[in-house]
Structure 1
């Protein structure tokens, strides 16, 4: 494993494994070496101990500078030994990874003074579009940062929705193996009655390093869906994406690396399992996974259908600009800092559109290979080329994939006789119910995929083989 691969691996662990692996304390400098931990850093005796307010202000200032793209200025709070090992480019890559995993930055929710190994520390809670993230900065006695970590905010334990009967199906641990040596953790869900093999589906997660449950805060929508459909007598396989489980370099990653190759391996695996009918396998995708679902179905013979949950109808970088604008305008005003963030995302999106990306550079969370492969993929034409039924479902409160995207799909598939569209006015991007304008905050409120979605998918699956 190269130093660079190790660095990217550590970043992914921080974002997706809900761990407190150190970022800074455990590396991600340009040379892949670890930044000194507090007990490795020599400090001089201070004239006075910094106050809690001074530490909080320093932590908030550092975070605000990251959000504003002022990476070189953010390094000024570091102790010299840390500044030598964590470059502005490394901070930029870390922040890009966070936004790719959690959506665009929204705001700082607060800062809490804590203690780490007798050192003063501050945990800053950051709200992104799709999730909250804790950033813990450890200070020496001179108010200099000697280490920093991403820490996962505590989330409520998942409980099954009321429509799930966990006695109606069995779950089995699974390991999906696509290209390379990395195994993707997964879970099979099969009926427990021992009857004829039912329809089955493989679930493709959304953008970023998504786990098998689609975990966002206390919510696990993919688990809701799999268990709800398992209760109704269907089999499924869902798995953690390669970007969450494996060593990946975002500068060289493509959409086939992220989605297609592993999904094809997952379908082949599901077809070989007892309790799943190999002739009745459906590809189900959510968000970007929904857009890639036709590509996966086209790569393997015998797929019996495609279900697209909130499929983007526009380019991903265009949606990132729209989401950022929506979020900064949500409170009815736009600050100078918010406008600067929107301007920065707009400039980056324009670079992506022109593929103006250097080798080894990461823009909006991905490199040239990824953006080029995504631009080369014609999702509409691929869907039209499939000779299988397609179900497209959308939440009317979805601000990430909007009616504009679904209308684009309606237009593209208007002449296809075996396509069905359904929109649910009160559901959001995760297909959880709510009221009023949607916001990232509701992703942090425990809920479940609406039962009507499970019922419609189950009825659609049954109708395919009546």
Structure 2
């Protein structure tokens, strides 16, 4: 049964563009699992690849699945993450998600039956979309119903295509922080990162300005110019890459305060070498020496005089473009942070192997004469600011936890002071 449930059918379908994706998915599921009209379902497949899964093979697979699950009784709810839709479905013997993945042209890319994925419910009062440089940031606004302290925190993600909660495994650090702040009279706004919602918008010419900086600035400007938030202090909180880029965000956003959670003070490429070496030391099977040597080779090329804007991304760290790396090579966060004249809060976990105390101490040294800069080190916390023990490793992220309360108390105190 496991093999059947995890079977990925690599299929494409020709769909009517007058339908939206939710409706397309409903139509496909009805044809395949309720009407049992395999020929009709198969007619949706893209002709160029439909031959990979003939109609009779699709029929056989569907019959096996329904033998295990029973007939489809009802679709209970539909959720989506970007281009992937989850149809929570009640079968006679169990409840599962029918997972459908769409292309940008609304063609079906994938069909799974998977365990149910729980989604946070956003009611209309908390959902807020903000326009930013031609795209829409879909986010969650939390405003205390009473005892409002007139503070609003905007969250800026770490590297990668993160949702508004900065979900990593079963952990949702941004959601944890936002809900704690709400309980303490502090408003917040967190949004899905543009590379999460619009991955196609990130091109070879894109830099961290398009990836992170501009959206944070536009979100801050939205609230600064909103009559509903007149008199509020706007605080920007950045985690990891968001903290690394905070000095550049501060140039344009001019917020009241800034929070740096585990931001790297050293060049990103230097951290990559250190991370690969560390991961190799704790699990050579997952990160072999060849991988360490490859990242060292790529970083050496990036740092050499041979690197230029025409350098292929295949020769550069993380497969990022030359334009992306050129921006970061020209960026000096330790110089830029000295230009910030408002209060700053720097927080660092002692069990963080991605961004370490070396970075924390560099920030501290750079701002040693700044009385408005607050520094807090939390020895037992990971990169996600969740308590752990033992030797730090990626397994920490697989363990479900909550953002540490002592850190949250310090954060709230800084915001409210």
Pair in the same fold by TM > 0.5: yes
Which structure has the bigger radius of gyration?
A: 2
* Whole-angstrom CA distance in 2 between matches of 1:350 and 1:431: 32
Report the CA distance shift for 1:149/1:340 in structure 2 as closer, same or farther (over 3 A): farther
- The structure showing larger relative contact order (alpha-carbon pairs under 8 Å, at least 6 residues apart) is 1
- Per-residue deviation, 1:241: 1.2
Match of 2:374 among 420, 426, 429: 420
Corresponding residue of 1:265:
218
- Per-residue deviation, 1:351: 2.5
Query: RMSD value over aligned CA atoms?
Result: 3.6
User: What's the CA shift string for 1:230-251, capped at 9, x where partnerless?
Assistant: 1100011111111111222342
Corresponding residue of 1:229:
181
* Whole-angstrom CA distance in 2 between matches of 1:152 and 1:356: 46
Match of 1:398 among 330, 352, 356: 352
- Per-residue deviation, 1:153: 8.9
Corresponding residue of 2:202:
249
Report the CA distance shift for 1:298/1:434 in structure 2 as closer, same or farther (over 3 A): same
More displaced stretch, 249-258 vs 282-291: 249-258
Corresponding residue of 1:177:
131
Match of 2:302 among 332, 346, 352: 352
C-alpha contact (below 8 Å) 2:148/2:185 kept by paired residues: no
* Whole-angstrom CA distance in 2 between matches of 1:324 and 1:150: 35
Match of 1:365 among 319, 323, 334: 319
Corresponding residue of 1:451:
405
Corresponding residue of 1:188:
141
More displaced stretch, 291-300 vs 387-396: 291-300
User: What's the CA shift string for 1:402-444, capped at 9, x where partnerless?
Assistant: 1111111112112222111101011000000000111111211
- Per-residue deviation, 1:183: 1.1
C-alpha contact (below 8 Å) 1:232/1:458 kept by paired residues: yes
**Matched ranges for 1:294-373 at <5 A:** 294-301=247-254, 303-331=255-283, 334=284, 338-354=288-304, 355-356=307-308, 358=310, 361=313, 363=316, 364-373=318-327
C-alpha contact (below 8 Å) 1:395/1:425 kept by paired residues: yes
* Whole-angstrom CA distance in 2 between matches of 1:343 and 1:150: 38
* Whole-angstrom CA distance in 2 between matches of 1:183 and 1:23: 32
Report the CA distance shift for 1:243/1:151 in structure 2 as closer, same or farther (over 3 A): farther
Report the CA distance shift for 1:265/1:436 in structure 2 as closer, same or farther (over 3 A): same
C-alpha contact (below 8 Å) 1:198/1:275 kept by paired residues: no
* Whole-angstrom CA distance in 2 between matches of 1:245 and 1:23: 24
Corresponding residue of 2:239:
286
* Whole-angstrom CA distance in 1 between matches of 2:112 and 2:377: 36
Report the CA distance shift for 1:216/1:116 in structure 2 as closer, same or farther (over 3 A): farther
* Whole-angstrom CA distance in 1 between matches of 2:111 and 2:212: 26
Corresponding residue of 1:40:
51
**How many residues were matched structurally?**
328
Report the CA distance shift for 1:455/1:277 in structure 2 as closer, same or farther (over 3 A): farther
* Whole-angstrom CA distance in 1 between matches of 2:120 and 2:286: 42
Report the CA distance shift for 1:150/1:446 in structure 2 as closer, same or farther (over 3 A): farther
* Whole-angstrom CA distance in 1 between matches of 2:390 and 2:244: 27
Report the CA distance shift for 1:150/1:327 in structure 2 as closer, same or farther (over 3 A): farther
Corresponding residue of 1:111:
none
C-alpha contact (below 8 Å) 1:400/1:429 kept by paired residues: yes
- Per-residue deviation, 1:281: 0.7
Partner of 1:351, secondary structure, is helix
Q: Which runs of 5+ in 2 are unaligned?
A: 1-5, 14-44, 55-59, 65-108
User: What's the CA shift string for 1:139-182, capped at 9, x where partnerless?
Assistant: xxxxxxxxx9798996975899xxxxx9xx996101122112x2
